[in-house]
Amino acid sequence: MTQNAERRIVPLQPRHIAQVADIERRVFSDPWSESMLRAELENPLARWFVLESGGRVCGYVSTLDICGEVHVTNVAVLPEHRRRGIARELLRCAVDFARSTGAFSMTLEVRRSNAPAIALYRGFGFEPVGLRPRYYENPREDALLMTLILREDPLC
């Protein structure tokens, strides 16, 4: 986990659920419910990390580790905390986590129109590998599928 004088990244805990659900509602058109988030605490494949500042959750990243491929399911930052490097810190945490597990790759989907997120992911070495037509709703949009190769030997 990373930490500095003002903020720290820690694993998702029950005390974070309400704040993460609030971020979901504020950031995504199809947010996860509190019950869905609580279920993730019990999912052995899921790892969620939250960035706290002053006792408040400012953002989070969620992943699923499926047979050595870590899928980034969400990266979200409160709108009033954007452009402060929080998404970068969270993604760095997720990449470090994936490497620590011995994962061979990471994948994610991003709206084709989300140029800032695409630039962030490219900065970590993620490359576009395909499209998922009509993946997103509200508004309907294709997803760009991006992958980061962590090691060349994908055999378990």
Q: Catalytic site residues? A: 109, 121
Q: Residue 119 belongs to what H/E stretch? A: helix 115-123
Cβ atoms of 57 and 30 closer than 8 Å: no
Q: Positive or negative, the Cα torsion across 28, 26, 112, 147? A: negative
E runs forming strands in 16-126: 46-53, 56-66, 69-77, 105-111
DSSP class of residue 32 equals: P
